[in-house]
Amino acid sequence: MKTVYDFKVRDRQGNEVSLSDYAGKVLLIVNTATGCGFTPHYEPLEEMYRELKDKGFEILDFPCNQFAGQAPGSDDEIHEFCTVKFGTEFPQFAKIDVNGETADPLYAYLATEKPFEGFGKGIKNALLNKFSKMNNKKFGDKAYIKWNFTKFLIDREGKIVSRFEPTVDMKEVRAAVEALL
């Protein structure tokens, strides 16, 4: 059976990294953007990372510009923004596509194993659903990820445990991470 450890990704310098390097750790894999309404998620993500990394926790950050052009910078510009504004220390990889024909194979796998189930209820969620549908029309059946800051929780064996849409409260995400640690 396939796990996230079967995938390779590129770091910010373009070097290939095997996710098997993270074997035995609890992972939170996140597609991010620097100009999104959810960009403040970097703050609780970094806080969680600093407090839990010594217990075997890693956050893997994959910037993506496929949602209304909200991550337009280069890999270095994005990294500088995140480290200066939010003090991020968790691994940030090269910018990728998460949807369409050019979607990174890791994201195609994550999203087909844990498909989108909705943003939840409320006006904010309804608006995001509307924007998401408009944005993702161009990707058709390969619109795997609906918006920035979708999070996938991976257990120590490399299996996908949960998918959290960006509208999920970060306290809920943290509780799920702590339960696996």
From the candidate CATH numbers 3.40.30.10, 3.60.40.10, 1.10.15.40, 2.40.10.10, the one assigned to the domain spanning 4-180: 3.40.30.10
Any residues with CB less than 8 A from the CB of 67 and at least 6 apart, and which? 33, 36, 135, 147, 148
- Calpha distance 41→81 (Å, rounded): 14
- Every domain of the chain and the residues it spans: 4-180
The predicted pLDDT at position 94 comes to: 97
Known active-site residue 36: yes
The predicted pLDDT at position 68 comes to: 87
Q: Which of 9, 27, 36, 111 is catalytic?
A: 36
Q: Tell me: the pLDDT tens digits for 142-174? A: 889 999 999 999 999 999 999 999 999 999 999
